[in-house]
Amino acid sequence: MKHLINLLIMLLFSILTTAQEPEKDPEPIVKSEFIYLEEEVSFPSCHASTIEETEHGLVAAWFGGTSEKDPDVGIWLSRFRNGKWSSPVEVVNGVQNESLRYPTWNPVLFQPGNGPLMLFYKVGPDPRTWWGMITTSEDEGLSWSDPAKLGEGPSDHLLGPIKNKPVQLKDGSILCPSSSETRNKWRVHFELSSDMGQTWEFIGPINDGIEFDAIQPSVLFHTGGKLQVLCRTKQGVISQSWSEDQGRSWSPMTATMLPNPNSGTDAVTLKDGRQILVYNHIIPDQTWGSRSKLNMAVSEDGINWRAAVLLEDDPDPDSEYSYPAVIQTSDGMIHITYTWNRKVIKHVVVDPSKIDARDIVDGAWPKE
């Protein structure tokens, strides 16, 4: 009898203790998957993904081939329909003639408010000599127009959006965040079109390439019509610049509070006004650092950033989770694609309503 009473007391204590424990907040990551598996494709290496939402679903693209810079590297694409990603297909490549083929680079998908789906990409031997190309699709990525060169800038080829998505301004113009890489300077500029990509206006560069070697900007929207760009740099930090005239002129470039191991980033403004940044929160010990962690930060003002989601955290410093692309879809979800060890492209969905932001103190990402 005494033994039975003790069991009942222990059971009651367990029930009361469990009832008093606060429920754990729901995890913000609601989906994590690979767009394809290694054994399903013919290319051994991939990088620089992009993702966009069309009327009937998602479209993703990336470059794939033997390895970056090899001439067999083409732009591959997959569509998300009926709950799964389609088998990747090569939609464009760098074939110039029967005896010459260049690698392709950094595809960027963009669906304007009106008009066909756009696919920007680069062709050329390397980032110092490549040029911008564009092709469009009237059927959400099933078929594509003949590729066309974007044209010439004031001193060189137009490049289009260099890594991250364009934005459509309130007047309907398309603003492409772009940049150039020479042997001695990395500089940010913009290419603006008011006729759906038929002609382009060159704006910038906005930095001298001395204080900040900066490339690959992302554009964010703020109240009062202000724009902000966040950029990759060689200086160990993410840099920023601001515009109050819809991208026609920009403030001097300054450092943000966030580190950057000379790796690609991407950012998006949410419908509720919050700013989202996906990047490698790693403080480099030289101009090039590890990409073994991938992080999402959130900000109310684009200046003060807080830790939101740890997407990848690999103890192997040689692992690579890099070159993210991020959008918010019509259902409010945040979609991210990124390079997973140069082998496959990973797709992650985050519910912004479940983000539990934490302070970043003295540059350190908070422990879980």
Question: What is the model's pLDDT at position 7?
Answer: 47
Question: Is the per-residue pLDDT at 255 higher than 60?
Answer: yes
pLDDT in tens, 6-42: 444 444 444 444 444 444 457 999 999 999 999 999 9
d(CA 158, CA 173): 17
Please report which confidence band the pLDDT of residue 169 belongs to, taking 50, 70 and 90 as the band edges. Answer: very high
Number of helices (H), then strands (E), belonging to the chain: the values are 1, 28
pLDDT for res 19 = 41
The dihedral region occupied by 216, where left means phi > 0, alpha psi between -120 and 50, and beta the remainder, is left
For residues 298 and 14, which has the higher predicted lDDT (pLDDT)? Answer: 298
Peptide bond just before 205 cis, omega within 30 deg: yes
Question: Is the pLDDT at 137 greater than 80, yes or no?
Answer: yes
Pairing of strands 321-328, 305-313: unpaired
pLDDT at site 14: 47
DSSP track, 160-188: --SSSPPEE-TTS-EEEEEEEE-SS-EEE
pLDDT of residue 26: 77
Across the range 305-318, mean pLDDT stands at 96
* Alpha-carbon Rg for the chain in angstroms: 22
Give the per-residue pLDDT at 158.
96
Q: 0.85 exceeded by the pTM?
A: yes
What pLDDT does residue 304 have? 98
Categorize the per-residue pLDDT at 153 as very low, low, confident or very high, splitting at 50, 70 and 90: confident
Q: Which helix (H) or strand (E) holds 19?
A: helix 2-20
Residue 320 near residue 291, CB atoms below 8 Å? yes
Tokens of 328: 């918010």
Q: pLDDT tens across 56-110, in order?
A: 999 999 999 999 999 999 999 999 999 999 999 999 999 999 999 999 999 999 9
Q: Please report the pLDDT score of residue 284 as a whole number.
A: 86
Residue labelled with tokens 């729901």: 26
Q: Which residues lie below 8 Å from residue 128, measured CB to CB, with a gap of 6+?
A: 181, 182, 183
pLDDT band at 286 (very low <50, low <70, confident <90, very high): low
Tell me 55's DSSP state: T
Q: Which residues contact 233 (CB under 8 A, 6 or more apart)?
A: 186, 212, 213, 214, 215, 239, 260, 262
Residue 288, pLDDT > 90, answer: no
Which two structure tokens, joined as six digits, stand for 275? 């700013």
**Beta strand 334-340 pairing with 321-328:** antiparallel
User: Mean pLDDT, the chain, as a whole number?
Assistant: 93
Would you say the C-alpha torsion 341, 44, 345, 125 has a positive or negative sign?
Answer: positive
